[in-house]
Structure 1
Amino acid sequence: MRGVLELDPAVVRKARTLARRAGKPIVKLAQAHTTVAVERAVLRLAGLRGADPDTTPWVNRLLDAVRADVPLEHGISLPVWDALVRGEAEDLLTLAQKAGAGSVRFRVPEGRDAVRATAAARKAVGAGIKQIDKRRVERDRWLKRFPEPREKPWIYLIVATGDIYEDIPQAQAAAREGADIIAVIRSTGQSLLDFVPEGATREGFAGTYATQENFRLMRAALDDVSRDLRRYVRLTNYASGLCMPEIASLAGLERLDMMLNDSMYGILFRDINPIRTFVDQRFSRQIHARAGIIINTGEDNYLTTADAVDAAHTVTVSQLLNEYFAKEAGLEDWQLGLGHAFEIDPDRPESFRLELAHALLARELFPKAPLKWMPPTRHMTGDVFRGYLLDGFFNLAGALTGQQILLVGMMTEAVVTPWLSDRDLALQNVRYVLNACGNLYEDFRPTPDGFIATRARQVLSEAIDLLSSIGEDGLLDAIGDGTFGLMRRPADGGKGLDGVAKKSAAYYNPAVELLEAPA
């Protein structure tokens, strides 16, 4: 797809330079802070699981007990493993139970005690990192056993009933009908929970809770159907919200393949504090990089609140920022499922040509990335025939522009919860368009100075202007001013700010140390 729009390479380089300029201060901010979710993720990597009789996870109980004695700015690793080295408990779980009962006191060790605690923490967390490495090797073996066609887009389909035991047969049926990726949507509101539920869950609203046990069950079920179909079926969930680092760690431990992980989604659409989000997303992306997980970003959401034509350049800006943040955290091009969407008002003249311009721009700016192309939702009306046609045009746009992750649009999307029959019809729509079009993108060449190419260059120019402004004023101010999705989110507002702390000189995090160590 390279060169179709004849974008000026110097202009593209300028856009990336400006994105780096806007993103660097945010990276420094993230490096200088920690959060309760990052510290709980460290405990999870060290193997702490389970919950107390009131269903509060032990990682939360232990962190709360440590914070009662030691400020968050010092981190949790040294106080916890100092207590273990001192013989306060024989393992993490017992320590958490004693701490929850108030029978353990914590401190920041010094001298030899600090050295011993550091070594113990590094060993314990290192075991979790090794488990993530092992799960990545497992995935590589699956893909070697069942190689994939290079040109085939992945068909991405959502399954979520609220009951993990109902999700499993639906996911397996969807895979048999042609889905390559199963995304289990989280229960509404989970992103605002400052804890990760434990165990297999059977109650959820408009989705199923993301838990380690649910991840394990669905991964095993998709492995079973992968053997039957002789193709690897990928599993997706959501590393977003107040527990982003924890969920990312659990995804790595249970071999998920993709995770929704956008740098600004939680800020804009869940009103989570910007600093909390940027700190959490950097750590979560370091985990994803190590685990070989592909991230999906959320630029499509901007177009559900802002006009898809007027705000097209904000999508491009977000993609460039997401790319910078992701690569800084260690992700590679093949792991960047940058988002965009088919959301222009279908009654607008030339709407399809505008959609093609935006899709082609994303494809050419990120030629090595498996972009995630989202179906129409905002302008679905309940007219199922019109909706089915819109989804067909969406699938055609994907075929024309070489999209690699094609989320299946359903004719009742955003109107009612789709029936299973709606899903089957949607998969038929995808199969027909992709089979009929084949590699049509090889033949699609818009006129260099025509409508599509001109529109793409205009959007890129507007994105550069916005990035220049953000570089001068700062990304946090831009978010506070409502630049993205028309949402105003000040840096000192939002949920979760009380769980953020600036690192002290004594701060130590073995997970970050291991993840950032040279290969």
Structure 2
Amino acid sequence: MAGKLGLDAAQVREARSLARRVGRPIVNTAKKHTTVSVERATLRLAGLQGADAEGTPWVNRLLDVVRADVGLEHGVALPVWDALRRGEAEDLLVLAQKASAGSVTFRLPEGKDAARATSAARTAVGKGIRRIDRRRVERERMITRIGDAPHKPWIYLIVATGDIHEDIPQAQNAAREGADVIAVIRSTGQSLLDFVPEGATREGFAGTYATQENFRLMRAALDETSRELGRYVRLTNYASGLCMPEIAALAGMERLDMMLNDSMYGILFRDINPIRTFVDQRFSRQVHARAGIIINTGEDNYLTTADAVEAAHTVTTSQLLNEYFAKEAGLEDWQLGLGHAFEIDPEVPDSFRLELAHAMLARDLFPKAPLKWMPPTRHMTGDVFKGYLLDGFFNLVGALTDQGILLVGMMTEAVVTPWLSDRDLALQNVRYVMNAVGNLHEDFQPKPGGFIVNRANEVLGDSIQLLSDIERHDNGLLDAIADGTFGLMKRPADKGRGLDGVARKARDYYNPATEILEAKE
């Protein structure tokens, strides 16, 4: 195996084989179930949008009535397009409005009626997927025409005012200051909402609501700035939580470029039911694959609750699982922004060497992936001088290990909401390190059999052992999650938010979105 650590190729193959064996039962479970959000995403792809006077999206209203009449296990497509073909309404919006008012009753069509409903549903949903295809081509043409970021890693910077109309000028100025990727942090708690708000929003909490209109507004603003700067500026948001499939569909249709999309984050840190999460993440990743969106996984979060040295192997294990789940859903290596973080206590002896070993292990295991490197947060104390130095060390590791996506660290991280001046200083830190280091990663080679190489091999060995232990559980990964293996969070498969929105598919289940995405048309 190529790489600077000289990892044993047989061990690496064993790790991936174990990840595949641990992950395959989860994929099989996901294939056998659907969720309310998967079905609502299907309606969104068919063009249904908007909300009633109370702010409840029409996709929610329509699905709730269909579910009450015929159940969720058959899917929403056949009952809905059967009703449209029977003349219950002239389009999806009117059908949703009439259903909400109680003037439509849905049925499961049979025979020729089912065949006609199938054809109509596939045509309608196919239009949404073709829109995603057009937006992907549009991105590729823009990058060819105006240029891309001239360097790696891409500099990733956050805006989070809560007001989309405040976020826009901040995002544009951040791009002018050197950011290559703008992440619009989502409003606190949105991941627990079982609906996607509508329209432009101005009252988020520590972030801005993820809505289709907010996506559209920010994408248009960054396109304008991209043309001004002569380089394409990427836009990131969150496809996580209870509405992961819907937000993925909206992101594809509005040409976002990256989405935070981790297979276990919602389970561990938001107590969302594991089955719900795995079903939703598979569908959302199929959409991301089609849209050419890069996913960002959330392994860095484990190190905010577990010790970054003792739990290093859980990060590697999760990366291997995330890789398997992502590729099974159709994502390619260049779309895998696998997460890891600089979170070792700086008082630990050789902490920098340990961080370097962990980052090099990720780079050697996933040589074609644009790894997402996250800055220190857990051990930021309020000493801004020490924090600034830690961020400099973080940037140095990023440069030495050829990371693909580098989130800018703030010296006031985890203490207060950073000022704009903090962001300016943080960007200066990144620019200095990257300019001074240049392509040092080409020259840097750890000593064979030395501290860094031995530590990387130790973590890989521990990861293989953990995957082997998980495989021996009666219910594999689901039992491991319930036992608190990742991030010390215990999340049983029969509990958690959103469980009531999961249904086992009936034999006659049909979803045109899944059919089209899996056919890779």
Common fold by TM > 0.5: yes
What code does the residue aligned with 1:325 have?
F
Note the C-alpha offset of 1:68.
1.2
1:417 is aligned to: 417
Question: Which range moved further: 64-73 or 294-303?
Answer: 64-73
* Per-residue Cα deviation, 1:411-444 (whole angstroms, up to 9, x for no partner): 0011110000000100010000001100110011
Which residue is equivalent to 1:479? 481
Note if contact 2:392-2:433 (Cα within 8 Å) is conserved in structure 1.
yes
CA distance in 2 between partners of 1:312 and 1:393 (Å): 19
**1-side partners of 2:508 and 2:195: how far apart?**
26
TM-score by length of 1: 0.99
Which runs of 5 or more residues in structure 2 are unaligned?
Answer: none
Report the alpha carbon displacement of residue 147 of structure 1 after superposing the two structures with TM: 3.6
What are the residue-to-residue correspondences of 1:334-353 with 2, within 5 Å?
A: 334-353=334-353
Residue 34 of structure 2: SS of its match in structure 1? strand
- Mapped pair 1:13 → 2:10: no
> SS of the residue aligned with 1:34?
strand
C-alpha distance in 2 between matches for 1:245 and 1:159: 23
Q: Does 1:211 align with 2:188?
A: no
> Structure 2: how far apart are the matches of 1:455 and 1:123?
54
Counterpart in the other structure of 2:126: 126
Q: Distance in 2 between matches of 1:16 and 1:218?
A: 38
SS at match of 2:410: coil
In structure 1, C-alpha distance between the alignment counterparts of 2:149 and 2:77, rounded to whole Å = 45
Structure 2: distance between partners of 1:500 and 1:254: 27
- Per-residue deviation at 1:472? 1.5
Measured in 2, the distance between the counterparts of 1:458 and 1:184 equals 37
Q: Residue type of the partner of 1:514?
A: I
Residues 75/206 of structure 1: CA separation in 2 closer, same or farther (3 Å cut):
same
Unaligned segments of structure 1, at least 5 residues: none
| Aligned pairs for 1:141-290 within 5 A | 141-148=141-148, 152-290=152-290
Measured against aligned partners, the alpha-carbon deviations of 1:15-73 in whole angstroms (never above 9, x if no partner) come to 00000000000000000000000000000000000000000000000001111101100
**Runs of 4+ displaced beyond 2 Å:** 146-152
1:28-107 to 2 correspondence within 5 Å?
28-107=28-107
Distance in 2, Cα, partners of 1:155 & 1:94? 45
> Which whole-Å CA distance do the structure 2 matches of 1:87 and 1:518 have between them?
32
Q: What's the CA shift for 1:204?
A: 0.7
Alignment of 1:277-356 (within 5 A): 277-356=277-356
Q: Name the residue aligned to 2:518.
A: 516
- One-letter identity of the residue aligned with 1:74: H
CA distance in 1, matches of 2:402, 2:453: 16
Q: After the TM superposition, which residues 390-409 of structure 1 pair with which residues of structure 2 at under 5 Å, given as runs?
A: 390-409=390-409
- Equivalent residue for 1:109? 109
Q: Deviations over 1:228-280 (max 9, x none)?
A: 00000000000000000000000000000000000000000000000000000
The one-character-per-residue Cα deviations of 1:348-367 (angstroms, maximum 9, x if unpaired) are 11000000000000000000
Equivalent position to 1:498, from 497, 500, 510: 500
Q: Deviations over 1:73-111 (max 9, x none)?
A: 011000000000000000000000000000000011000
Partner secondary structure for residue 519 of structure 2: coil
Superposition deviation, residue 150 in structure 1:
6.8
| Residue-pair matches, total | 519
Provide the C-alpha distance between the structure 2 equivalents of 1:76 and 1:299, rounded to a whole number of angstroms: 34
TM-score computed with the length of structure 2 as normaliser:
0.99
Deviation of 1:2 (Å): 4.0
Q: Distance in 1 between matches of 2:143 and 2:327?
A: 24
